[in-house]
Structure formats: structure tokens, C-alpha cells
Amino acid sequence: MKLARLIALAACVLVGAGAANAGVVSISQTLDYTYDVGNTWFFWPPTAIVDHSPFHRHSWEDWGWTHSLSAGVPADATDIVEATLSILAWGVDDTEGEVDIVSIDGVQAGTLQGSSNGLPVPPVPPEAYQTVGQPNTLATRWSVTSFTLSQAALQTLLVTDKLKVFLNIDAPVDGERVTIRSSTLTMKYAVPGETVAEPNVAVYRFWSPVQSSHFYTISEQERDMLIRDFPSVWTYEGVAYRTFGAAADADLKPVYRFWSGEHGVHFYTINEQERDIIIRDYAYVWAYEGVAFYAYPEGHQPAGTKPVYRFWSESTSRHFYTISEPEKQMIVDQFSYVWGLEGVAWYAYE
């Protein structure tokens, strides 16, 4: 069973970076393919073709989306110091005369650019492209364009916690297409005093005797759907541990989530290199689903956190994760012929 096909995991992914100085908190929100309200085909999903309809949109298929941030704004925020909007796109042929106009709250902010200007672009497997050509050449057509919000937009965002974005595809020429993968809004909020990061989400754990595997999610909607609609498949085991839905300090890193239809399981990793290898070399087995939550990598864990251990079973082709020391030791002592301890996956709070 593929959970993402049964329910959207979340309308957005909230992330953040720890403040370099006291009194400033950074919060980011990324809208991607999970934000597909009413099948409007906004953002390209990893399982679709990049350069083909409906996600490779034509000039008469303009559209907009809204960043809504009320759930992630610091309660004591007094102002927004600065904010940027970054759009990850494919096929922006600005050198050929294509002009894709981006408007923020009804005011033109600029145009999409065909160069990423050194900003990181997530990898995409070669089979995602339908166009005949060299995959490496096609991959270079991904770009990130960033816009700095005006003071008027900052004030609107501070009051409403919403930002409306509209994309006018190839406005003057009426002929070119573009594919959008994600839109990321990053704000720096001014807050009084020093901000201390505390875990703000629970990681819920399920066990499936049908799938012979565990599943982990921070989505209350996804948790409730499984409990309500699939009790014969998934047994709710409670809260596994607590962590973050946002990178509330600089040491927190995203934990990435994959789904394998072949094995019928999910896989989680905090290791960016491991993520990139799987996307590049094993896309036929593992579908990248984005960021599951945020946790501390080994070597950067603060006091009070505990290691989350990762096991691998060669016989079942499954991973297992636990923060429980007694559970870890029981598996090591009694089931080492099935489960091999791979070490610490990341750190979180009991």
C-alpha cells in the first residue's frame, strides 16, 4: 500500500535554521507536489515526467499558489527582518526570449531565471525525462530563482501570515513551457530575547503484520487516516519519540523519506549522500517523498537527546528504527540472526 496515494502527507513542509544571533528566528516553508489542491497540477511530483503535460505547463496554463505560515510563526515575533522566495523550475529558457513573470501579492517581483546561480538543485533520475537527449544536458536545465520580498510584502506577511504567488508563463511570447518543482518561502523573524529550540512534533509509529514492517510519520492527518481506515493493515503503537517539524536550530538536519513499491516499505535517512545515491542509482526501487521531519545527526546532538538506532534485515529487506535502549538491546541479544545493528541513525527526544 502506498500511503502517499491515499492521502496527501502535508500541504507543506516547515523548515527553519537556528538563529545566528539571539532575537532572530528563521522559518522556511516549502510547497511541493503534496500541495496539489483539487488536482490543479501545480508542482512536479518525482514519479511524473518532467518535460511533459500536465506538469510541464504552457503559456495559457498560468497559475498561483499561497504560502500560509500561521502554524510555524514564532508566537512572540515582533517583526520580519527579511524574507525571500525561491522557485525551483525546469526548462526556463530565458536566453531564448522566454519571460516567466512572478508576482507576489499582486506586484511583479521579477522573472524566472535559467541559471541556479550556485544554489543547490536536488538530483532527478534520468528516466524522469521524456525528451530524447543526454540526461546530463537535460539535468542542467533545472534552476533556482530567488526573490527578496519588498517591505510592503513583509508587512502583509506579518499581518496575515500568507503570501500569494502567481506565475505568468512566457507572458510576451505565448509559446514556451516551464515545470515547477517547488516554492520555498524563508523568513527571518525578530523575537525578544534568546530563542531555545524545543521539540515540537511527535513521530508516530505503526506496525503492519501484513507488510511485516513499521511506518513512522509526524502527520496527525496521516496517523488518523491509518487508524480510522486501515486497522486491519496498520496497528498504531503510539509515539516513538519527539523531534522537530522545522530546523529550529542550525544543528538540525532533514530526515528524508523514500517509498519502495517493490518492497512495500518506507526508508528514512538523515544522510544527504545516501539520499543522493538512492535518487541517482536506485530510483527504479525507491521513490523520493521529501522531508519526513528534522533531527540531530550524530556529533551534533544537544544534551537531553537520545540516539535513534537503525537496524537492517537482509532476509526481509527492511529497516527498523528505535530510540528505546531496552528494545535495541533485546533485538541485539535475541534477534541478531534477523536484524543487524547499523548504528545511530540520528538523535531525538524520548
Per residue in 36-93, pLDDT tens?
A: 666 566 888 887 888 888 888 888 888 889 988 876 777 777 888 888 898 999 988 8
Are both 25 and 165 inside the same structural domain? yes
User: What kind and span of H or E run contains 256?
Assistant: strand 253-260
115 contacts 181 by C-beta, under 8 angstroms: no
Longest dimension (CA), the chain: 69
Domain closes at, from 142, 160, 190: 190
Domain closes at, from 190, 214, 239: 190
∠ CA 262-268-274, rounded to 5°: 90
User: Which residues span the domain enclosing 252?
Assistant: 201-348
Distance of CA 87 to the CA centre of its chain: 14
Residue 79: its pLDDT value, please?
Answer: 81
**Rg of the chain taking only CA atoms, in angstroms:** 21
Give the three cell numbers for residue 52. Answer: 511533459
Backbone dihedral region of 256: left (phi > 0), alpha (psi from -120 to 50 degrees) or beta? beta
121 contacts 88 by C-beta, under 8 angstroms: yes
Give the three cell numbers for residue 110. Answer: 521579477
Residue 161: its pLDDT value, please?
Answer: 86
Are both 49 and 176 inside the same structural domain? yes
> Length of the chain, please?
350
Residue 4 falls inside a structural domain: no
Are both 156 and 229 inside the same structural domain? no
Residue 148 falls inside a structural domain: yes
pTM of the model: 0.53
Residue 89 falls inside a structural domain: yes
Are both 129 and 258 inside the same structural domain? no
Residue 141: its pLDDT value, please?
Answer: 83
Residue 7 falls inside a structural domain: no
Domain closes at, from 165, 190, 215: 190
Distance of CA 130 to the CA centre of its chain: 25
pLDDT digits (tens, 9 = 90+) for 294-345: 999 998 888 888 999 999 999 888 999 999 999 999 999 999 999 999 999 9
pLDDT digits (tens, 9 = 90+) for 84-130: 898 999 988 877 778 999 999 999 999 998 875 555 566 677 777 87
Are both 317 and 235 inside the same structural domain? yes
pLDDT digits (tens, 9 = 90+) for 236-259: 999 999 998 887 777 889 999 998
Residue 296: its pLDDT value, please?
Answer: 92
Q: Is the pLDDT of residue 191 over 80?
A: no
User: What kind and span of H or E run contains 321?
Assistant: strand 318-322
**Confidence class for position 164, pLDDT limits 50, 70, 90:** very high
Average pLDDT across the chain, whole number: 82
Using CA atoms, how far residue 67 sits from 33, 183, 334, in Å, is: 14, 9, 49
Q: How far apart are the C-alpha atoms of 243 and 200, rounded to whole Å? A: 6
72-83 in b/e form (b: 16+ CB < 10 A) is bbbeebeebeeb
Residue 154: its pLDDT value, please?
Answer: 87
